């Protein structure tokens, strides 16, 4: 699955809906595995589209968040094998997508990956945190989340946020295929049940608290202070360009 929403693959409602549909198709056509990557040469995904959260239409922003939750359920909780070929920056929601896969290969270069929400004055939802603690040790996750740490490729490898480094996108995809090939001699059902048992607690936590999670998000986007911070953040991104 190749993310292709220039310039930075920010996750807006339309892209999330497309991803949700594609994940359904992959599950339905009984594909063995999926590799998630990006068509951009330098950004895997810039995370959630901040414009969806800035001065939002309430009905749309509710659909936006529930679709994000759905994409996470379908990706993190998939039966099929998932790997991410991370060929560029992967902040916040971009990192969430990568961590929701079972294996991550990142291309070397001046790229960064991590959950930087606290730097924006945002508290990452529990399921973002659960996805991180499913990937790296709890202590490292707490430190990274509270400090909004963006890891460079070497640091990400060292902490286990990524599994391998690749020279370029083709190499990243080849390495993801190498991971997928490891399951050739493992019975598929045993593999998928084991994966889902390992992920069950995090999935159940969001299933049980889904409405509450949505309400928290809706309160968040309606808070004037948050709107001010988002405005300043958008300006800083634009100034940079
Ligand atoms: C209760 C719980 C409540 C809330 C939970 C919310 C959780 C939030 C999760 C998120 O994912 S928030 C998004 C966080 N993402 C970021 O902070 C990334 C910001 N972007 C960047 O750092 C960089 O753009 C980059 C990804 C490193 C790429 O850099 P590059 O130099 O290649 O591009 P540039 O910065 O010039 O951007 C081009 C263009 O795209 C716009 N842009 C960038 N990121 C976003 C984004 N996330 N959403 C919307 N738009 C984005 C940027 O402003 C530029 O626009 P312009 O061309 O009009 O100037």
| 110 annotated active-site | no
* Contact in structure between 87 and 73 (CB atoms under 8 Å): no
Quick one: pLDDT at residue 156?
Answer: 98
The answer to whether 93 is a known catalytic residue is yes
Are 20 and 73 a contacting pair, CB within 8 Å? no
- Taking only the tens place, the pLDDT of each residue in 122-144 is 899 999 999 999 999 999 999 99
Give the pLDDT confidence score for residue 132 in this predicted structure. 98
**Nearest-CA residue for atom 1 of ligand 1:** 217
Q: What is the pLDDT averaged over residues 159-188? A: 98
223 is catalytic: no
Look up 116 and say whether it is catalytic: yes
pLDDT in tens, 24-67: 999 999 899 999 999 999 999 999 999 999 999 999 999 999 99
Ligand 1, residues at Cβ distance < 6 Å: 7-8, 10, 42-43, 46-51, 89, 91-93, 116-117, 122, 125, 216-217, 220, 237-238, 240-241
ipTM metric: 0.98
pLDDT digits (tens, 9 = 90+) for 211-230: 999 999 999 999 999 999 99
- From the CA of 186, how far away is ligand 1's center (Å)? 40
- Pick the closest to residue 217 from 96, 123, 135 (CA basis): 123
As a whole number, mean pLDDT of residues 101-108 equals 98
Distance separating alpha carbons of residues 204 and 157, to the nearest angstrom? 29
pLDDT of residue 241: 58
pLDDT at 240 over 80: no
Which helix H or strand E contains 67, and what residues bound it? helix 58-76
Distance between the two ends of the chain, CA-based, in angstroms? 28
Residue of 7, 8, 71 with the most ligand 1 atoms within 8 Å of its CB, for mutation: 8
Which domains occur in the chain, in start order?
Answer: 2-240 (3.90.226.10)
- Give the DSSP H or E segment for 82: strand 81-86
pLDDT for position 87: 98
Phi-psi domain of 234 (left: phi exceeds 0; alpha: psi -120 through 50; beta: other): alpha
Task: Tell me the angle at which helices 93-100 and 126-133 cross, rounded to the nearest 10 degrees.
Answer: 50
Catalytically annotated residue among 116, 140, 145, 230:
116
Q: What is the mean pLDDT of the chain?
A: 97
The pLDDT assigned to 238 comes to 87
Question: Would you say residue 205 has pLDDT above 90?
Answer: yes
Ligand 1: centre distance to CA 8 (Å):
7
């Amino acid at each position: 699955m190749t993310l292709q929403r220039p310039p930075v693959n920010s996750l807006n409602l339309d892209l999330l809906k497309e991803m949700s549909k594609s994940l359904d198709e992959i599950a339905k056509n009984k594909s063995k595995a999926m590799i998630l990557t990006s068509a951009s040469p330098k950004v895997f995904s810039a995370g959630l589209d901040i414009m969806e959260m800035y001065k939002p239409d309430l009905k749309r922003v509710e659909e936006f968040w529930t679709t994000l939750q759905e994409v996470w359920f379908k990706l993190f909780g998939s039966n099929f094998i998932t790997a991410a070929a991370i060929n560029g920056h992967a902040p916040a929601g971009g990192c969430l997508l990568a961590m929701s896969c079972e294996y991550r290969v990142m291309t070397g270069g001046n790229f960064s990956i991590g959950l930087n929400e606290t730097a924006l004055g945002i508290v990452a939802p529990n399921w973002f945190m659960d996805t991180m603690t499913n990937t790296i040790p709890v202590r490292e996750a707490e430190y990274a989340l509270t400090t909004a740490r963006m890891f460079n490729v070497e640091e990400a490898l060292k902490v286990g946020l990524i599994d391998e480094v690749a020279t370029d996108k083709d190499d990243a995809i080849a390495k993801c295929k190498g991971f997928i090939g490891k399951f050739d001699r493992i019975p598929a059902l045993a593999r998928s049940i084991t994966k889902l048992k390992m992920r069950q607690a995090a999935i159940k936590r969001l299933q049980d608290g889904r409405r509450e999670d949505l309400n928290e998000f809706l309160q968040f986007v309606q808070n004037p202070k948050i709107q001010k911070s988002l405005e300043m953040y958008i300006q800083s991104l634009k100034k940079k360009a």
